[in-house]
Structure 1
Amino acid sequence: MKQYINLNGDHSKTIEKLNELLSTYQVYYQNIRGFHWNIKGQNFFELHVKFEEYYTTAAANIDEVAERILTVGGVPLHSFSDYINTSSIEPIKDLNDGQKMMEIVWNMHNELLGLMRSTVEVADEQDDEGTQDLLAPMISDLEKTNWMVGAWLKK
């Protein structure tokens, strides 16, 4: 495992968690793209734009996670089959109802948040401050986003 920073010890657990996060984020991204493309109904204009915002943010975060995996000496997963097999989010298809989509978004965000937090815990155990620092603002941003989704859903 070649790393490009001066980390001591084995960081395979962090790499494994980051790859799980990467895979889950990739399935989330594709689900949100599908929602963006297929939304119908009264909330079309509002949600079409919102879903684009979500997948744009996800794309940037996906790139950061993949680059972190490389930085700590791992290889980011990069096939759809790896993503499906590793993701804790299931692919969604044939959906066009905005209310149902937003319920799924809320659940996917909660799944991503849990995975980010558990990745931070593993990084902490391995003295990997860089991974912790990478994920902390992602967590804060997603918490705020999901608070807003919850407000939209009247939760």
Structure 2
Amino acid sequence: MKTLDFIKLDEKSVAPVVESLKQLLADFQVYYTNLRGFHWNIKGHGFFILHEKFESMYNDAAEKVDEIAERILQLGGAPDNRFSEYLKIAKVKEVDSIACSDEAMSNIMQTISLLIEEERAVLDKASEAGDEVTVAMMSDFLVEQEKLVWMLVAFQSGKCHK
């Protein structure tokens, strides 16, 4: 008995979706770990705001990791659970001991941009496979992340314009 039989999706059609989700999972896992490091190591101006925001962001990333892994399982795949495997395929690179808010924010913005690109690719593949649930999940991720980008850009600008 397979889940795909009951949700009426074809294994061959969803195989590219599963592979794209595995890539996204690896990148989210590295992103999550980087966010934890930013949370622990941030110093200087903006510490209180950023320390709290980074915690919120890594909690959100942890939820997304779980959603992605569960969707891989629902589509008949098997999510990797070893960090060594994530690092082999992740496009997001590990960072070490970033304490400067500008560096952390730059890394986060670049990472979110990469995740958005990957999510759009997953969305396209899921749409081709008739996988509306994955399409909806990616759409939800994109709504949140595009708003987050807007807020982070506004935070980084730090200047009021008339």
Unaligned runs of 5+ in 2: none
1:144 matched to 2:147: yes
> What one-letter code is carried by the residue in structure 2 that aligns with 1:34?
G
The offset of 1:92, in angstroms, is 0.5
Deviations along 1:115-145, one digit per CA (max 9) or x if unpaired, are: 1001101111111111101111111001100
For 2:84, the equivalent position in structure 1 comes to 81
**Radius of gyration: which is bigger?**
2
Instruction: Tell me what 2:130 maps to.
Output: 127
Equivalent residue for 1:99, pick from 102, 109, 118: 102
Q: Which amino acid in structure 2 is aligned with residue 18 of structure 1?
A: L
Distance of 1:54 and 1:148 partners within structure 2: 13
- Give, as a single letter, the amino acid of the residue that structure 2 aligns with 1:3: T
- Determine if the alignment matches structure 1 residue 30 to structure 2 residue 41: no
Secondary structure at 1:88 match in 2: coil
Percent identical among aligned pairs is 37
Partner of 1:3: 3
Which TM-score applies when normalising by structure 1?
0.95
RMSD: 1.5
- Contact 1:103–1:153, Cα closer than 8 Å, also in 2: no
> Contact between 1:106 and 1:146, CA under 8 Å: does it hold in 2?
yes
The amino acid across from 2:123 in the alignment is: V
CA offset digits 1:86-120 (Å, max 9, x no partner): 11100010210011101111111111111100110
Which runs of structure 1 show a deviation greater than 4 angstroms over 4 or more consecutive aligned residues? none
Q: d(CA) in 1 for partners of 2:21 and 2:2? A: 16
**What is the deviation of 1:9?**
4.4
**Paired residue for 2:62?**
59
Moved more, 32-41 or 1-10: 1-10
